A and B are shown apart, each in its own frame.
Chain A
């Protein structure tokens, strides 16, 4: 893989032009506009580039349920912590999950107490771990959206081919479009348009959002992650508001096609079936989760070890649910910065690098959207 950065998507001149366009359009709009960035990577990019401060007063940005660790149900986290205690087991996990507090403990705490929990960057690393440790059970914690689910599917297929009977996946994968429909069905959610995730869209394709746009008549723009990408999506959305239309725009055409990555999608559907899933703080959303199909049950940790995912228990005072649906901003949560900090997180939104509470905490500044701090 060769990597080259795309300077034009950070170009101050292009950015200024877009900001000017947004300002002009907003003037004619004459009403406050609230946009939701669904994806955690967008949340972080918006903070890192301080995009809020260059937008006109009338536009506010709220974060949505697009950080995979944040939407992982408390019951699922407890199950992860529980299986870490099984004998002869290696738990392979993405790093973000390590510090998420369960009801009693976290994976990080379990590792400090001697459990074998290893951070990996890909399910393929976990598969290699299974090959290298044939006497141990290797359980990969499958957390993520349509972006990661296909590679996990590929790892299960490979495990089958390579006869790695000691490789298991505990699937807590979730799907983005059903969650957006769930949000739209919730009357408390206040958003005038969606900045749609870039990575997820690369896999599922732009067309996957058409039912959402048509059913709820909500303006949508698929965006990349550089400042110019995000400004372009915002510009597109405010123009839709000005025109009183609701369209699906793809401002990330360099990566997202109409139909997405068909091969990856087919692989995902071959291994997983769609099931109802519980999202932290939001509750059950129909057909929004992925379960490993019966054919691959031998690698399904939930089946193989009869793991019961405990029913979600609300953490007292934690407003993760309201924050994940954009009903509340992090500083409006009574625990924010007082009880809940990145060193001592109460909820996952404060743990994950992509969680909106962690992003607010790290980049806090004064002004709009309830943030605080000093401006210079």
Chain B
């Protein structure tokens, strides 16, 4: 059934989002920086290389274990800039507020934004606020944009994955998505799982200090690790192989995903990164990540292959291999 309207699936971060971007948005603004389809754009400004990124946050609920829409919005844009290998410096903030939002809630969100900006070492230097009538928005939507400087010699891009590269994941997957699902659906789990929302710019800084030639960096947010790896495999025109038993998933997160029929590989993260590095650099980079408080569970989860361009494979615990495809549609709860 073809559709002539926007469906929620268009916002899932999976294949329909990808189609919306490539068939409508990209042609509207066509230029080399946008075509790279990286988390942030990398552009030249008067001889300096600058990373520039924007993101809009509509998470529901606005407060959740481990964070809220405020620190999520700061960390998200900080991370998008960090994934370009850049040092994030300045952020803008735009609010769309729904009539009726308690001022105390707005204050709480601003406080956590300030704290997040301090942790990341960035300044919010400009902003905008709009208020819309009740039900024209859901409580609060936040947009953040940011810029940062890319150091000399750093060349990170989604198209730079090379055969032989090892793939490092900085910690457990699916924590954020699982946390939000539990809250949103009012599921009564006894679980200590919290969102992993965190700034990754300090981690990236330490990684690049020991290894400036990291090939690819990516924070697997909406669409999860599965979608991020597919995008990299496609953009770099390489095959990727990962090993299921090496991918760290918390026991409770794994159980929640199992119950809801979700694959943790497609569940969102907000404080994790994937790094593609040459095998000779793996140890240095891994050590640098583990020094960061958000990288204690970092490990190598796979490698880049010589063939199978554009495909991601996963070796299963019983020794089989399956394709990890891009997410299609909202990951839906199962019913039996």
Contacts and interface: CB of A to CB of B under 8 A. Distances in A.
Contact of B3 (A4, A16, A109): A109
Interface in A1-57: 1-5, 10-12, 15-16, 19, 39-41, 47-54
A50 B320 contact: yes
B7 A50 contact: no
B319 A54 contact: yes
B136 interface: no
Given A3-B251, A3-B256, A363-B323, A227 B316 contact: yes
A15 B5 contact: no
B318 A231 contact: yes
DSSP class of B's interface residues: helix, strand, loop or mixed?
A: loop
B5 A112 contact: yes
A163 interface: no
B96 interface: no
Interface stretch (B119-127, B142-150, B180-188): B180-188
A8 B316 CA distance: 15
A53 B251 CA distance: 27
Contacts of A111: 8
A95 interface: yes
B283 to A, nearest CB: 26
B1 A3 contact: no
B253 to A, nearest CB: 9
A144 B336 CA distance: 7
B255 A5 contact: yes
B153 to A, nearest CB: 34
B325 interface: yes
Contacts of A96: 332-335
Contacts of B239: 376
Given A4-B251, A94-B335, A48 B191 contact: no
B322 A121 contact: no
A221 to B, nearest CB: 18
B241 A95 contact: no
Interface in A124-153: 125, 143-145, 147-148
A319 B189 CA distance: 40
A49 B318 CA distance: 7
Nearest to A198: B336
Interface residues of B, number: 53
B316 A49 contact: yes
A227 B318 CA distance: 7
B155 interface: no
Given A342-B329, A376-B305, A12 B5 contact: no
B99 interface: no
B206 interface: no
Interface in B160-210: 185-191
Contacts of A66: 336
B190 A1 contact: yes
A314 B263 CA distance: 33
A119 interface: yes
**Which of B2, B15, B333, B334 has its CB near the most chain A CB atoms (within 10 A)?**
B334
B317 A15 contact: yes
B33 interface: no
A54 B315 CA distance: 12
A39 B336 contact: yes
Given A112-B6, A344-B2, A345-B1, A3 B255 contact: yes
A376 B274 CA distance: 23
A362 B329 CA distance: 12
Contact of A343 (B15, B252, B254, B325): B15
Contacts of A231: 318
Contacts of A354: 261, 334, 336
A363 B325 contact: yes
Contacts of B313: 376
A329 B73 CA distance: 46
B319 A16 contact: yes
B259 interface: yes
17 contacts: A5-B258, A12-B245, A15-B319, A40-B336, A48-B316, A66-B336, A94-B335, A96-B334, A99-B9, A99-B332, A111-B8, A148-B336, A197-B336, A227-B316, A354-B334, A362-B323, A365-B321
- Give the top 5 A-B pairs by smallest Cβ distance, nearest first: A50-B320, A3-B255, A95-B332, A342-B328, A94-B335
Interface of B: 1-3, 5-9, 15-16, 19, 185-191, 239, 241, 245, 251-252, 254-256, 258-261, 263, 305, 308, 311, 313, 316-323, 325, 328-336
Interface of A: 1-5, 10-12, 15-16, 19, 39-41, 47-54, 66-69, 94-96, 98-99, 101, 105-106, 108-109, 111-113, 119, 121, 125, 143-145, 147-148, 197, 199-200, 227, 231, 342-345, 352-354, 358, 361-365, 373-376
